[in-house]
Structure 1
Amino acid sequence: MPNQVVFAQEEGERIADYLGPQNKNLIMQTHSLLTARGMVVEAAVFVIALERACLAQILVES
């Protein structure tokens, strides 16, 4: 999964708005998964779990 870098201020603000105060994960259409956590290890664990959940969903639907 490639890293995505936000270069535009507006794009970063829009992503922050989508996350809001409660949400910690986003599935970005045509991009990838995004997770925001307090520590890198915590973010890694959650993005792996989210990726596995997405794969399970794809397998169930196919």
Structure 2
Amino acid sequence: LLIVFSGYDIFLGILHIICDGKIFLLPGVFAGVLDFEHGSQALTTLYFNLFLVPYIILITHLLYRYWAILA
């Protein structure tokens, strides 16, 4: 599991260097943009959703441990 986390963090680091995503917080507005030459709406959505994967892995791991203790 630690290898998966570290490998995915390296992938996210390289992706961040290539795409250079930025988040803007204004009153009532939350926006994410990519400073990328070939950027698109679908690529921006994919880029920001890729940051959810470590949380999904962690939640899955914690649920597995919880269910293993209950069994």
TM-score with structure 2 length normalisation?
Answer: 0.30
Q: Which has the higher contact order (CA 8 A, sep 6+)?
A: 2
TM-score with structure 1 length normalisation?
Answer: 0.32
**Bigger radius of gyration, 1 or 2?**
2
